[in-house]
Copies of this chain bind each other. A is one copy, B any other.
Amino acid sequence: MGYLSLTDADRAEMLAAIGVSSVDELFEQIPPGVRFQRELDVPPALGEAELMRHLEELAAKNVHTQAELSFVGAGIYDHYVPAVADVVLSRGEFLTAYTPYQPEMSQGTLQAIFEYQTVICELTGMDVSNASGYDGTTVAADACFVAKHVTDRHKVVLAETLNPQVRQVVKTYAPGFGFAVVEVPHRNGVTDPDELARASTDAAAVFFQQPNFLGCLEDAPALAAAANEAGALSVAHVDLMSLGVLEAPGAYGCAIALGEGQAAGNWPSYGGPHYGFFAARSEYVRRMPGRIVGETVDADGKRGFVLTLQTREQHIRREKATSNMTTNQTLLALAGLATLSWLGPEGLREVGETCLALAEYTRERVPLEPAFEAGCFKEIAFRTPTPTRDVIRRAREHGVNPGYALGRDYQGMDDVLLVAVTEKKSVEDIDRLASVLEEVCA
């Protein structure tokens, strides 16, 4: 059954060594009143062949992104995941090791995390990165906790153009932090810096997203400035895959840059596991959440890597810790490292340029009105003549999933379709999208 391997002979020897006559004796420490008497009511055991067949049958019931031509993005994107990422994910040593508490046993994981931290710092223009957070939503909550201690203020400001799930998670955590949450509405798809400035007074942190959830490019430097002038931590939620062509948050003065790493090296996987990245300016390093790897030397003077600044962490600081996180998303972050190393500076720039070019081509070819005037990176919103959900349903009958219905999250946007492209999309794909939309919207 399962993966057990003790033989009867083993059991007998072991019970003898313990000095009990049966395994049950070992459980006598469990008060009779709370012992579970019956058999677990769970589905029957399956051998590996039957198990795979069962799972294949379940998987076959899903319509995955290869099964139709899909332009759905809205936070999770099908950028190309290179085969070198498989090398990392399939190496048993990376896969089956845990947090590198014992550096001599884990130099590989530690060095890779150190390299990952460097890549994140380079992309975001920040000084320090942690080893990963859970995803693009929880890192925002982490940032609130940092801001709470740094500023001693009790308000967080969220641009309405910030990913709705990120806003929801911040709202879930806010009561525990004693935070009030203020949202700043979008104006024609983007956030007005003056409006944000007004809202930022007495705020601990101010969040915006670049490019934003509606696909629009914000005037990020102005938004960061508004937050900074109010003495709040300016937090940019960014897309790693855009940072070959879009300015680094560090360059326009953000205090913290974070986001969802999935686009860089992880599969959609129905929402996870992925990695959230979290990078900050050096003054906040001792308030950072999660694991951080540092370089040092060993007893023989050799370079080596260790988990460091652990006095921030729960296992040492306990109730005073900067976060309660222990298990994180290292493996997914390492797939990100492999992917970004495979792209290199040239490749990442080219991905960005291809996204810009395809988005522009989409704007030209799709026979619908763009919903907003602002420029975009890889997502663009259009107004649909009939409710967007109907347009999507009818387009899918033609084998094309044209995008995401923004009405799911934004009132008054029931007729707005958000179309996402990545470098995997071809000109022909977009022509096909255009002609299908032509047909179903005519």
Contact = CB atoms under 8 A, between A and B. Distances in A.
Interface of A: 48-49, 52-53, 56, 66, 80, 82-83, 87, 90, 92, 423-424
Contact of A48 (B49, B66, B83): B83
B66 A56 contact: yes
Contact of A424 (B53, B82, B87): B53
A180 B423 CA distance: 61
B90 A424 contact: no
Nearest to A52: B80
Best-buried of A80, A82, A83, A423 by chain B (most CB within 10 Å)? A80
11 contacts: A48-B80, A48-B82, A48-B83, A49-B80, A49-B423, A49-B424, A52-B80, A53-B424, A56-B66, A87-B92, A90-B90
Contacts of A82: 48
Contacts of A66: 56
A312 B92 CA distance: 39
Nearest to A56: B66
Contacts of A92: 87
A80 B66 CA distance: 26
Contacts of A56: 66
A87 B96 CA distance: 13
A49 B422 CA distance: 11
A250 to B, nearest CB: 29
A46 to B, nearest CB: 12
Contacts of A49: 80, 423-424
Contacts of A83: 48
Contacts of A423: 49
The list of the 9 closest CB pairs from A to B, nearest first, reads: A49-B80, A90-B90, A49-B424, A48-B82, A49-B423, A48-B83, A87-B92, A48-B80, A56-B66
Contacts of A48: 80, 82-83
A315 B48 CA distance: 44
Contacts of A80: 48-49, 52
A52 B86 CA distance: 14
Contacts of A424: 49, 53
Contacts of A52: 80
A48 B423 CA distance: 12
A207 B364 CA distance: 70
A82 B83 CA distance: 22
A54 to B, nearest CB: 11
A338 to B, nearest CB: 13
Given A48-B80, A87-B92, A90-B90, 8 more contacts: A48-B82, A48-B83, A49-B80, A49-B423, A49-B424, A52-B80, A53-B424, A56-B66
